[in-house]
Amino acid sequence: MKITLRRAAAGVSVIAVLGVIVLVSGVFPIKASSGHWPVTRWLLDFASDRSVAFHARGIQPPALDGEPMLILGAATYESNCAFCHGRPGESQPPVALAMTPTPPHLSGAVQDKHANELFYIVKHGIKFAGMPAWPTQRRDDEVWPVVALLERFPDLSGDEYRRLIDVQLPADTPQVVSHCAACHGVDGNGRGGERVPVLAGQSEAYLRKSLLAYRSGQRYSGVMMPVAHRLTDQDITVLSAYYANQARAAQEAPNPDDRIRFEEGQTLALEGHTQDKIPSCVDCHGPTDNPRSEDYPSLVGQSQWYIIRQLELLARQDRGGSEDVSLMHPVADKLTAQQRRALAIYYAAAKSESK
């Protein structure tokens, strides 16, 4: 029988009508309890793998070695990922196993993935798989510690994983253990390396405003926004007071090779730069023995990496924060890379202000 254009059009129309009938009738099951057909599962996995490989091209991973990177990655994973993907040495939670598609246990699932592909998956998530995107697309730096953990995941024992996340603390401060200490340490001086800010000795007012900004989504962080979302007002009050009353660890002396940069940063922090309309830093951020607002953070003792990163985020307006953060946008935008580094070297080694 000769197929004419009219017959072909009629056939397509019949198929379209049948498709609409099936769609409207609701006869097609969407229940997760039945799982996917094998061909559907293969098609989704194949399409996902090819898409990730294509879009992850050109992503250059930073150095991912070092235990602090693993500690920060493990703390983030425990808070946001373990309830679906499980922990090393343990089976997955039963609720996750009842999902369709079932989230993979990562001991085997990450072995054939490169670091750039893991980064793309963690940052952007996967459609039709229940895999969420990172809570903010502005903070690529927060994703890499999780990638560092995932690369070690297949060889990580349960005891090694627990050592990365476990901290010991007296039982009268459970909020600190459950929400903060895995990254920031019991004493607020950090255990997650240079990427984690020092909380010890910050003002209670600033810590409270920061947690409220994270909770409301005004300050952008895929690590802190989910943590703050789970905090009550009482939790925020307790945690802010606790860390404000911790003693800040002594700063190390500046590297002799950084002496010139330290002095440049000190001059800029104390005097600003009139020609470039950059105000001094110490009046708001210390160190100074003069009264200053407790709404602004102390920068003394923060790591060089952290200070530089915050200034970069502020210049791009990708940091967010409380209502005061807009004051920093024009200042950070005027700083050169050399000035940011000089300020970071100075503040990382500066002496704390008296209290």
At 119-157, the pLDDT tens digits run 999 999 999 899 999 999 999 999 999 999 999 999 999
Residue 156 CA: distances (Å) to CA of 44, 95, 101, 199: 29, 24, 25, 30
Least confident of 77-91, 145-159, 174-188, 272-286: 174-188
Residue 22: which pLDDT band, with cuts at 50, 70 and 90? confident
Distance CA 200, CA 249 (A): 8
Span 99-104, average pLDDT: 94
CB-CB contact of 245 with 237 (8 Å): no
Amino acid 176: pLDDT: 79
pLDDT of 172 over the 90 cut: no
How many other C-beta atoms are found inside a 10 Å radius of the C-beta of residue 241?
12
Amino acid 169: pLDDT: 67
Span 308-322, average pLDDT: 97
Amino acid 353: pLDDT: 64
Least confident of 23-32, 108-117, 167-176: 167-176
The one-letter code for the residue type at 273 is: H
Amino acid 293: pLDDT: 95
Residue 275: which pLDDT band, with cuts at 50, 70 and 90? very high
pLDDT of 171 over the 60 cut: no
* Percent of the chain residues topping a pLDDT of 90: 80
CB-CB contact of 284 with 291 (8 Å): no
Residue 301 CA: distances (Å) to CA of 175, 206, 263: 25, 16, 16
How many other C-beta atoms are found inside a 10 Å radius of the C-beta of residue 108?
10
Distance CA 307, CA 317 (A): 15
pLDDT of 110 over the 90 cut: yes
Predicted confidence (pLDDT) per residue in 37-48, tens digit: 899 999 999 999
Amino acid 219: pLDDT: 98
pLDDT of 174 over the 80 cut: no
The one-letter code for the residue type at 251 is: Q
Residue 343: exposure state from Cβ atoms within 10 A (0-12, 13-18, ≥19): buried
- Asked if CATH classification 3.90.1660.10 holds for the domain at 167-245, the reply, yes or no, is no
Cβ contacts of 109-117, under 8 Å, gap ≥ 24 = 110/150, 110/151, 110/153, 110/154, 111/154, 113/52, 113/150, 114/56, 115/61, 115/64, 115/147, 115/151, 116/56, 116/57, 116/58, 116/59, 116/60, 116/61, 117/52, 117/53, 117/56
Amino acid 142: pLDDT: 98
Contacts of residue 75, Cβ cutoff 8 Å, sequence gap at least 6:
164, 165, 182, 183, 192
Least confident of 202-216, 249-263, 267-281, 329-343: 249-263
Residue 9: which pLDDT band, with cuts at 50, 70 and 90? confident
Residue 315: which pLDDT band, with cuts at 50, 70 and 90? very high
Least confident of 60-69, 86-95, 166-175, 306-315: 166-175
**Alpha carbon 256 to chain centroid distance?**
33
Class of domain 44-163: mainly alpha
Q: What's the whole-number average pLDDT of the chain?
A: 93
In this structure, the dihedral spanned by the alpha carbons of residues 56, 60, 65 and 70, taken in order and rounded to 10 degrees, is: -50
Residue 76 CA: distances (Å) to CA of 60, 73, 148: 21, 5, 11
Amino acid 114: pLDDT: 97
Fold (topology level) of 256-349: Cytochrome Bc1 Complex; Chain D, domain 2 (1.10.760)
Where in the chain do CATH 1.10.760.10 domains reside? 44-163, 167-245, 256-349
Amino acid 18: pLDDT: 87
Contacts of residue 351, Cβ cutoff 8 Å, sequence gap at least 6:
251, 287, 300
Residue 76: which pLDDT band, with cuts at 50, 70 and 90? very high
